[in-house]
Structure formats: structure tokens, C-alpha cells
Amino acid sequence: MSSLRLFTNGFWRENAAMVLLLGMCPTLAVTTSAFNGMGMGLATLVVLLGSNVVISAIAGFIPKKVRIPSYIVVIATLVTLVDMFMAAYAQDLHASLGLFIPLIVVNCIILGRAEAFASRNGIGPSILDALGMGLGFTTTLFLLGGVREILGNGTLTVFEYKETVIRYLVFSPESVSPILVMILAPGAFITLGFFIALKNYIDGARST
Amino acid sequence: MEPRSFTVSYAPHVHDGSSTRRIMWSVFGALVPAAAVAVYAFGLDALRVMLLSTILCVAMEGVALLIMRRDPAACLDGSAALTGFLLGLTLPAGLSNGIIVVGAFVAVIVAKQVFGGLGHNPFNPALTSRVFLLIAFPKQLTTWPVPRGLEDIKEYMGLAVTRTTDAVTSATPLAAIKEHAQRAMPNIQLNDLFFGVHTPGSIGEISALALLLGAAFLLYRRIITWHVPVATLATVAVLGGLTHLANPAKYADPVFHLFAGGLFIGAFFMATDYVTAPVWPLGKIIYGVGIGLLTMVIRLWGGYPEGISFAILLMNAATPLLDRYTVPTPFGSRKPDKAAPGQAGGES
């Protein structure tokens, strides 16, 4: 597989959220705003990058029977690091993502890439794979969060750090009432369903 | 050799001439009395909600069929129109047009066409949409205009003075009971619930009389069977009676529970939906009892004053299971048949 194809794999063909349907817990739970989705995606990306690098480097030493616990130890260490860094430098985002940051440990994307890709490939391809998968996941979460935020709250939050807030008002809640359910759990399922349908529709149209 | 003079075909061999189109329009017709009472009670606003919802549902079904490269003429089979009409009947009069557009989209696209269209939807489309709207727009969906009789129409025709204040809104009887049981109970007149022209509520639920007329027509034409409605109403009556006996000061009497809210329209017109209800008699009875039970649990102890919509949707989810385990033993067979055939609405 060419390097470019390896990188773009995670964006479309094997998009973690829309095709592999991995990492559903953060995908559905924290995409209440575009920025939350992006923050979650980036946190996952950092952990994925670290774990892919470390695991592809040490895969040769790990006995087959204990590989999953070993991977989890590596992933948990990285998640703890990310958790502490976010608590220190991005407190608001850390507070709004809450429990879902520690839960990255059990995110199937990371363990899945470790088992299916990093443990069988060198460090270079593993980095590309992690970047593609992580950025593809981040993009999907960002779009998912954006759609839900616009429909459910009437705003689009692109960036939020301390005093710097980039938030667009799509429509004012006074004139048009937002569809509250879209930022609740059912809205996440419905939006993701339509995302997948749209992707399949585009794929179908391209293949014919 | 002579050509074969008989046709080999699968069952059914006897057909009563009914069709989807005919059944759907019969149910549509059976709901017309309720709609007429609503227009009398709420005025042209009720007519606007019902018309808009019906037209939008049919149009969206047509568009969805076009996108999926199916025959768009199928949107006129009456099922989309019925979904839209039922949706309109479950909404409060005076709802804004934008919310009705969202409602029609959820009913036809999200709840029906996404699953494969008529016959494949696991949940009743009109009710799915109503519950979606209730969660999405809690304030608008619980703003109930007080019926004003013929004032609106008179006003429209220039026979009455234009009102100076905005439409007055009020709580539904069920909401009143939920919030302050002792004070509300003596104020609610049974004949108001029966005729419905003075009771606030969803467009189609206010008049028990009109709904019972429509239901009698459907039962007479054998479009619906008695199992689901009777099981639902009996369960509500029994539970209402038991709780009323236990604490008459806190719980309303069973007659009130039967006539208030959307129980009749739900039990006769929505729970009996062919696609989402079980097909076997025993399954229908269990399904009806479940609906009654859940409705009363939500009404008496839940967060919402009315629970029939949630109850029907929850029992819709149980339909495939009920279809599987309540297959009747055919006459003459020795052992209960283990392999249960998949039935309509039971696609899993």
C-alpha cells in the first residue's frame, strides 16, 4: 500500500466512526458541539499516535499470549498523560469531555489499530496509519458535532480556549427554536445514521 | 396437448378485495369525525396543522422514493397521507409551521423510509415523530390552546369581532391532575371529556365520542380487531380502578383515565397499525396489556402527564418477539410448532 493510500485510508475507506463503527462511545457521547468533537478526536489522535509508535517498536518482544494486557498498559499510560496535560492546559475542554478522556483507554480504535496494524508493521507506516485514522476520526467527530450543534443549539463553536471563543450564531434561538433532541443522545444516533447513509450513497454513486 | 386450465399459486387463494390503498383511506375516513370536532373546537388553526402535516408527509414520501429510485407514485397509496393525518391529530393546534416540517421529515424519512418504507418500519411513524417533537420542542408541544368553539371561523368570515388578546392556553386534564390532583379533580367534567369541545389537548384526542364513532366503523369493516384496543382499555381501567380504590384523593377514577388524553386515539388508531403491531390474537392481547400497563405507569408515576405514545412505541419494539412466541397451534397438529414463521412487522 502506498504511503498516501495508507494515510487517506482513515478518512474515507476505513473511517473509524463511519465504516468500522469503532469508538462509538465518544462518537455518540461528546459530539454535542463541533469543538467538543474536535477536542475528543485530537485527544484520541495523540493517544493513537503514541500507542502505534510504541507498540510497533516493542511488538517483537511481547509474547503473543500477553499482548492485549501489554497494549492496554501502554495505552493507559498515554491516556493518563493526555488526561493530565488537558487538565493542565485545556481545563474547559477537559471539564466538558469529563469521563470520556479516561475512557479513551478502552476505545476500540486504538486497541484495534494496535492489534491489526501497529503490531505487524514498522514504525513509519504505523505513524501514517495513526495520523490518517486519528485525523479521519477527528474530522468525522467535528462534522458530527457541528451538525448536532447547529440543529440543537443554533450555534457553531469552532474554537474555545480561555477567553478566545470562535462561535458562529447560525440562527437565533429567539426566532427559530432549536431542535433540542439533536444535542441529546437520540440526536447522536440519528445524525450518525444519516452520515453513514450519505457516505454509502456517495460510494454507491461513485462505483456505478 | 391442452394448455393447463388451472393456475398454480401460493396462498392466499381467497381475497376479499381489500388493498393497502383502501384500508388506509378507510382509517383516514374514520378519523374525519375527530378532525371535524377539532376544527369546530380549535378553529382553522387545527385545520392548518392537519392539512400541512398530511401534505408534507405525502410530498416527502414522494421525494424519498425518487431519491431511492422507486416508483414515486407509491406516495399516493394513502399510507403517507395517513401518517401525516395521524401526526397532525397528535399535535397541539397552533403549532408553528417549521415544527410541522421537522415532524413530517422525522415521520416519513427517519421513521419509515430509512427502514425500507411501508411494511418495514419497526415503529409507528406518526408516533415516533410526535415523541421526537415532544423531546425536541418541549415548550411548543405542551402549549395547548383552549377550544373556542366557532369563534375562529366566525371571525374569519367577518361575523365576529376580532379578538384582542392572544389565544389563551391551558393545561390538559391529565396535566392538571398530575400537578395538583385534589384541586383539579372536581373541576373536570366527564361530558367535557366525552364531547371534547371544551377540553384542551392534542387536535385529535379531545373528543372521545368522535373517536369511538370512527373506531366502531373500523371494527364493523373489520379493518381492526378488538384484541388490542380492548386489552389496552381494560388494563387502563383495572389499574386506574385499583389505584383509585387505594387512594381516591391522589389517583383519579378509572373512567377519567379512560376518557382523558390520547388513550382512545392511541388504542384504536395507532396501536392497531398493521406494520408495527403483532399479528396473532394472543400476541395482540399481550401487546395491548403492555400498552395499558406502560401508559398507566407513566401517567401515575412518570415524568410526563400522558404516556400512551411512549407506551405504544415501547410495545412496538416487543412486536417481533411477540410474533415469534405467540404463533397459534394449527388445528390437527400434535406438537406445538417450533419454527415460527416471520410475519409482517416482525422483520428482524
Domain residue extents for chain A: 3-207
Are A193 and B114 an interchain contact pair (Cβ–Cβ within 8 Å)? Answer: yes
Per residue in A70-82, pLDDT (tens digit) is: 999 999 999 999 9
User: What is residue B249's predicted lDDT score, i.e. its pLDDT?
Assistant: 80
Are B98 and A181 an interchain contact pair (Cβ–Cβ within 8 Å)? Answer: no
User: What is residue B150's predicted lDDT score, i.e. its pLDDT?
Assistant: 58
Cis status of the peptide bond prior to B12, with omega within 30 of 0: yes
Mean pLDDT by 10 residues, chain A (208 residues): 82 86 86 90 93 91 90 94 92 87 88 89 91 93 92 84 78 79 89 91 84
What cell numbers appear for A98 in the block? Answer: 469529563
User: What is residue B247's predicted lDDT score, i.e. its pLDDT?
Assistant: 85
Q: Which residues of B touch A179 (CB under 8 A)?
A: 102, 136-137
B234, burial (CB in 10 Å: exposed 0-12, middle 13-18, buried 19+): middle
User: What is residue B157's predicted lDDT score, i.e. its pLDDT?
Assistant: 57
Whole-complex ipTM: 0.81
What cell numbers appear for A19 in the block? Answer: 465504516
User: What is residue B53's predicted lDDT score, i.e. its pLDDT?
Assistant: 95
CA distance, residue B130 to nearest chain A CA (Å): 12
What cell numbers appear for B122 in the block? Answer: 419497526
What cell numbers appear for A87 in the block? Answer: 487538565
DSSP 8-class letter at B12: P
Q: What is the pLDDT along chain B (348 residues), one digit of tens a residue?
A: 566 667 777 777 777 778 888 889 999 999 999 999 888 888 888 899 999 999 999 999 999 999 888 888 888 888 999 999 999 999 998 888 989 999 999 999 999 998 888 889 999 999 999 999 999 988 888 888 877 665 655 555 555 544 444 556 677 778 777 766 666 666 666 777 777 777 788 888 888 889 999 999 999 988 999 999 999 999 999 999 999 899 888 888 888 888 888 899 999 999 999 899 999 999 999 999 999 999 999 998 888 888 899 999 999 999 999 999 988 877 777 665 555 554 444 444
Q: Out of A181, A193, A197, whose CB is closest to B136? A: A181
Q: Does A181 touch chain B (CB under 8 A)?
A: yes
Are A197 and B114 an interchain contact pair (Cβ–Cβ within 8 Å)? Answer: yes
